Amino acid sequence: MGTKRKTFICFMKSLMWISVSIVCMLTLFLIGYVLWKGIPHISWELLSTKPSYLSDRIGILPDILNTIYIVLATLVIVLPLGMGAAIYLTEYAQNKRIVNMIEYAAETLSGIPSIIYGLVGMLVFQQFFGMKTSLICGALTLAIMNLPTIMRTTQESLKTVPNSYREGAFGLGAGKWHMIRTVVLPGCVDGVVTGCILSVGRIVSESAALLFTAGFAHALNGIFSGLSSPGATLTVALYVYAKENGEFGIAFAIAAILMILTMLINLLAHFMGEYFQKRRNI
Amino acid sequence: MENIIHGIFLLLGLITVGCVLLMTIYLIISGIPAIREVGLFHFLFGKEWAPVLAEPKYGILPFILTSIYGTAGAVFIGVPIGFMTAVYLAKLAHPKIKSVVSNAVSLLAGIPSVVYGLVGMMVLVPQISTLFHIPDGSGLLAAIIVLAIMILPSIIKMSLTALEAVPKDYEDASLALGATPVETYFRVSVPAAKSGIATAIVFGIGRAIGEAMAVMMVAGNAPNMPSIFQSVRFLTTAIASEMSYSAGLQRQALFSIALVLFLFIMLINTALNFFLKREKVE
């Protein structure tokens, strides 16, 4: 083998090694650093109280609750829409042009940056529909953002439902809607669950789209009053504490919580994927 | 009855299209007035952004150039690392290493952008400031590095999928002709997967140009013309940083910036679709 070839192989191999180690070290560093800086600041008091100027303490309970509210509200809005669209595309659509149009629209939606969602959400829901800055306004914005995700995962799992099931149901005299309810919908559970996990991950980590739609408030609310009033999610709270208030300890505590949440969501997605794979193979 | 249900599903399917149309129309309607007032040429190529002066100036060339330079820099750093990692994972890595690294990459993808921003703000910015002896490390360089890290996961994942889809026969043929594995991967597999890799790069560009929060925390946010150590403002951060307190023409100008950003994204989406189609044909 000529030296030229040997150098090429050596060079490429070392480049690959360097790149992989950069990626691994980066991940380890990010996790380690955030947890190391954040965990010491996490206390029960931080997690269970709201910020109070009187006693000069910061609590993030409202932000945690807001995050949960917005996740629930977004899923409630986006699930029927995304699943419906997916069912239309796989079960009903015959016109190729409509299918292409919907798929192109979904692709476009998933490419639009979140700051634009935030801006349009603010314009449409607040200026046009007259809603005020509130969690529900943020949830509506996030629902549009997550529509393509739910649609795609549902669609993929619908495609795995064998056509013979559908034909069998028709053969037994079921109407189309009856067939969808009893045969197709149970078959797409795994896609919906996967889509939900992905969406929860995106909602929890979203901040730019919520800045102008859901606002910054840290008030403690129940779910229904919470949804109609402004509130910061954990990510927005992190941004405000770090960038505007200079409370870096609190910011790192929130970052550590977000990091742990991200890891949990990833683990869940991983195991659910394996579980569904196994179930499908049986 | 069946027809009504068909109609409902069609409606759900068309919601995606409706959302895209709504967003486009809203951005155009709200973006045009300021451009008309300022003048398209002055708006796009004006070098000064000073909306609060007695004689306000609305030139967004600094933002456009910053976004382009920042994205180009991120791609320049992120793509080689991501590409090399993907080749290693797809072809050379031991299955166990592959699964560990891909899980790390998924985690990297799930970390909220504000967490990247926070770590960038607390680690990267001070490092840059001491390394290059400048008073404030926040600026274009910090933003480029953060963006490069943030686009890594999508580049790795998408290139990996493309490389794994290369038919085994191609590689076997090359190996049988006496090429070594590494030569085969770079001279046969990579060219065979080139449209998939191109898709990954374009996707990364879209991600980088649309990122707002992380950039906002490390770029300094002064509306300067871009230069590597200067405090700069991106298109995304220009929208986010003044939205909360602006009014009148200034606010409308922000909508126009969003329109410009949206046009950039649409351009990137078109390129993405082009590559995706080519991949399907291949």
Q: Select the residue of B2, B10, B119 nearest A176 (Cβ to Cβ).
A: B2
| A116/B239 Cα distance (integer angstroms) | 9
| B274/B61 Cα distance (integer angstroms) | 28
A225 and A86, same domain (yes or no): yes
Q: pLDDT tier at B142 (50, 70, 90 boundaries)? A: very high
Parallel, antiparallel, or unpaired: how do β-strands B49-50 and B57-58 relate? antiparallel
A132 and A222, same domain (yes or no): yes
Q: What average pLDDT is seen over chain B?
A: 90
Q: Element (H or E) spanning A188, and its range?
A: none
Can you tell me which residue has the tokens 């155009």? B28
B115 touches chain A (CB under 8 A): yes
| B252/B279 Cα distance (integer angstroms) | 40
A16 and A57, same domain (yes or no): no
Residue B215 pLDDT: 93
| B229/B67 Cα distance (integer angstroms) | 15
Residue B146 pLDDT: 95
pLDDT in tens, B80-106: 999 999 999 998 889 999 999 999 999
Residue B282 pLDDT: 64
What single DSSP character describes residue B178? Answer: T
| A20/A79 Cα distance (integer angstroms) | 38
Amino acid letter for position A17 = W
Q: Which of residues 117-146 of A touch B (CB under 8 A)?
A: 118-120, 123-124, 144
Q: Which of residues 184-223 of B touch A (CB under 8 A)?
A: 186, 206, 209-213, 216-217
10-residue stretch averages of pLDDT, chain A, 282 residues long = 85 92 94 93 85 78 91 94 92 88 90 91 85 89 94 90 87 87 86 92 92 84 82 91 87 94 92 84 66
A270 touches chain B (CB under 8 A): yes
A272 touches chain B (CB under 8 A): no
Check if the beta carbon of residue B163 is closer than 8 Å to that of residue B91. yes
A30 and A50, same domain (yes or no): no
A104 and A24, same domain (yes or no): no
Domain tally, chain A: 2
Given an 8 Å threshold on Cβ–Cβ distance, is A208 in contact with B119? Answer: no
Residue A282 pLDDT: 62
Boundaries of domain holding A21:
3-41
B232, β-bridge pairs: B220
Given an 8 Å threshold on Cβ–Cβ distance, is B110 in contact with A91? Answer: no
Tell me how many degrees the CA angle B122-B113-A149 measures, rounded to the nearest 5: 170
Q: Select the residue of B8, B88, B240 nearest A115 (Cβ to Cβ).
A: B240
Q: Select the residue of A92, A106, A239 nearest B9 (Cβ to Cβ).
A: A92
Name chain B contacts of A5, Cβ cutoff 8 Å.
180, 183
| B121/B250 Cα distance (integer angstroms) | 28
Given an 8 Å threshold on Cβ–Cβ distance, is B209 in contact with A176? Answer: no
Can you tell me which residue has the tokens 């896609």? A191
Judged against a pLDDT cut of 80, whether residue B13 lies above it is answered with yes
Check if the beta carbon of residue A232 is closer than 8 Å to that of residue A161. no
Name chain A contacts of B113, Cβ cutoff 8 Å.
205, 207-208
| B153/B204 Cα distance (integer angstroms) | 9
In chain B, which ranges are E strands?
49-50, 57-58
Name chain A contacts of B81, Cβ cutoff 8 Å.
19, 22-23
A277 and A140, same domain (yes or no): yes
Q: Which of residues 185-204 of A touch B (CB under 8 A)?
A: 201, 204
Q: Select the residue of A105, A175, A208 nearest B17 (Cβ to Cβ).
A: A105
Q: Which of residues 18-47 of A touch B (CB under 8 A)?
A: 18-20, 22-24, 26-28, 30-31, 33-34, 37
Given an 8 Å threshold on Cβ–Cβ distance, is A207 in contact with B272? Answer: no
Q: In sequence order, which residues have a C-beta less than 8 Å from that of residue A194 and are 6 or more positions away?
A: A153, A157, A269, A272, A273, A276
pLDDT in tens, B37-70: 888 888 888 888 888 777 888 889 999 999 999 9
How many other CB atoms are there within 10 angstroms of residue B219's CB atom?
31
| A142/B157 Cα distance (integer angstroms) | 24
Check if the beta carbon of residue A158 is closer than 8 Å to that of residue A140. no
B119 touches chain A (CB under 8 A): yes
Instruction: Kindly indicate whether the ipTM for this predicted assembly is greater than 0.85, answering yes or no.
Output: yes
Given an 8 Å threshold on Cβ–Cβ distance, is B121 in contact with A80? Answer: no
A155 and A189, same domain (yes or no): yes
A186 and A232, same domain (yes or no): yes
What single DSSP character describes residue A41? Answer: G
Name chain A contacts of B1, Cβ cutoff 8 Å.
175, 177
A81 and A163, same domain (yes or no): yes
SS percent in chain A: helix, strand, coil, step 5: 80, 0, 20
A57, β-bridge pairs: A52
A115 and A76, same domain (yes or no): yes
The residue ranges of every structural domain in chain B are 60-281
**Superfamily of segment(s) B60-281:** MetI-like (1.10.3720.10)
Q: Which of residues 219-248 of A touch B (CB under 8 A)?
A: 235-236, 238-239, 242-243, 248
| B248/B239 Cα distance (integer angstroms) | 14
A114 and A224, same domain (yes or no): yes
Residue B130 Cα to chain centre, angstroms = 28
Q: Select the residue of A8, A24, A258 nearest B112 (Cβ to Cβ).
A: A258
* Chain A closest-CA separation from residue B75 CA (Å): 15
B23 touches chain A (CB under 8 A): yes
A139 and A269, same domain (yes or no): yes
Q: Select the residue of B19, B82, B107 nearest A109 (Cβ to Cβ).
A: B19
